Amino acid sequence: MAGGAVSNSTYTSSPSNGKQAGNYLFPFILVTSLFFLWGLAYGLLDVLNKHFQEVLNITPKRSTLLQGAYFGAYFIMALPAGMFMNKFGYKKGIIMGLLLYAAGAFLFYPSARALNFDFFLLSLFILACGLACLETAANPYVTVLGPKESSEQRLNLSQCFNGLGSFLGPVIGGALFFGGGKDDLTSVQLTYIVIGFVVLLIAGFFYRTQLPEIKEAEAEGEAVMKDERPLFAHKHFVGGVIAQFFYVAAQVGVGALFINYATEYWQGTSNEKAAYLLSAGMVLFLAGRFVGTALMRKIAPNVLLAVYAFVNVLLCAFVMTGSGAASVYALIAVFFFMSIMFPTIFALGVKDLGKHTKKGASFIVMSIVGGASVPYLMGVVTEKYSTAISYGIPMLCFVVVFYYGWRGYRRS
């Protein structure tokens, strides 16, 4: 989805020598595959929006319920997934997530047979419940699968595969769903059946692979340890939850109606070509993470967050003009400046929470539910006014992100 968040908690595994570090390679590859899997699921989502509008004859407003089901599942499943993993361990939590993912993917077959959009929503909801489990577990696993000194490098590497999945999703969807003028759901059936079997295969590898135990270690400074304030008394945390809600809302909204926008305002653009343009946006999103990480060595994260958010406010304002190819290029550029927002807001929001760090992180993950509401509102505005005007909603969301990077991040 939005990309793996940067955790401020410290996790430890059993001491490792060189031999043990080598034994972490295969588990690391398995865990990194999870980042790719949820990136792929998200990348296909925006392509399904347009495809279902045409094949199932539904409105853009109704098609955005796909995002509602997808991100609503994150909101509902985040805390239960955490509780399950605290009781039974992260490995079982990952396997449960993969099984739910596969079950939701397989349900796409009967959904397509029935040509029932509501059944698709249920299938996607089950699939996304599995993704919520995977995202809850993946970050701490990546941090311990190797030397502690290189934990951030491993996390960034894994996040790159999330971006790769998000890029390939629209490419696959554009070629299979729209290629050759397809006007049925056969390709959707086959795509998700293949995904389901791949996910089951990876679940089998996890079942047969021994993974290190993860224990959270206290790593906060003395001043933080003495801070006895309740979680919601930390204003920067509350601001982080709000900013993350609006950021994810903006990110999902920007992608949800992208294909509609490109085909409407760039004359002669087909659905397939628009899907490839969406992939170009995902490439910029991936590149933006590398560029942003490098810039943060010289620029404070909150400053970079504010600058990027301000640029996106300006870009969305231009997108609202519906100025042909130029406005489509502006919309593609928005992806680059969104790239650093999720992990940066996350890291700023949980900073110096001490004993509340883990709980605070759960609430910030739950704020992903913002992605369930804004696409629908954009659909309403599209039907009443136009697709271009609907991009005023993400613009307002980026204003909130800008304020958090400017002032809201400050710790009281």
H helical segments located in 11-59: 18-23, 25-55
Nearest to 283 by CA among 319, 336, 330, 331: 336
Q: Is the pLDDT of residue 252 over 70?
A: yes
Q: To the nearest whole percent, how much of the chain has pLDDT over 90?
A: 32
Concatenated DSSP letters for 56-88?
TT--HHHHTHHHHHHHHHHHHHHHHHHHHHHHH
Single pTM value for the model: 0.74
Please give the backbone phi and psi of residue 38, each rounded to the nearest 5 degrees, phi first. Answer: -80, -25
Crossing angle, helix 235-256 and helix 65-88, to 10 degrees? Answer: 130
Coil, strand or helix at 216: strand
Nearest to 401 by CA among 314, 330, 312: 312
Q: What angle is formed at CA 6 by the lines to CA 302 and CA 335, rounded to 5 degrees? A: 65
pLDDT digits (tens, 9 = 90+) for 323-339: 999 999 999 999 999 98
Kindly report the average pLDDT of the chain as a whole number: 82
- pLDDT band, residue 410 (cuts 50/70/90): confident
Q: For 355, which DSSP code?
A: G
pLDDT for residue 8:
40
Residue 85 CA from chain centroid, whole number: 21
Residues 146-162 have a mean pLDDT of 64
- pLDDT band, residue 254 (cuts 50/70/90): very high
The owner of tokens 């590497």 is 157
- pLDDT band, residue 10 (cuts 50/70/90): very low
Q: Is the pLDDT of residue 15 over 80?
A: no
pLDDT for residue 27:
81
pLDDT for residue 155:
62
Question: What's 194-208 look like in SS3?
Answer: HHHHHHHHHHHHHHH
Q: Is the pLDDT of residue 220 over 70?
A: no
Coil, strand or helix at 412: coil
The owner of tokens 């910030």 is 364
Residue 63 carries which side chain, given as an amino acid letter?
A: S
Q: Is the pLDDT of residue 218 over 50?
A: no
pLDDT for residue 230:
77
Residues 246-253 have a mean pLDDT of 92
CB 203 within 8 A of CB 98: yes
CB 339 within 8 A of CB 345: no
The owner of tokens 């934990």 is 151
4 or 378, greater pLDDT: 378
Q: Is the pLDDT of residue 75 over 50?
A: yes
H helical segments located in 266-386: 271-295, 301-319, 324-338, 341-350, 357-366, 370-384
- pLDDT band, residue 354 (cuts 50/70/90): low
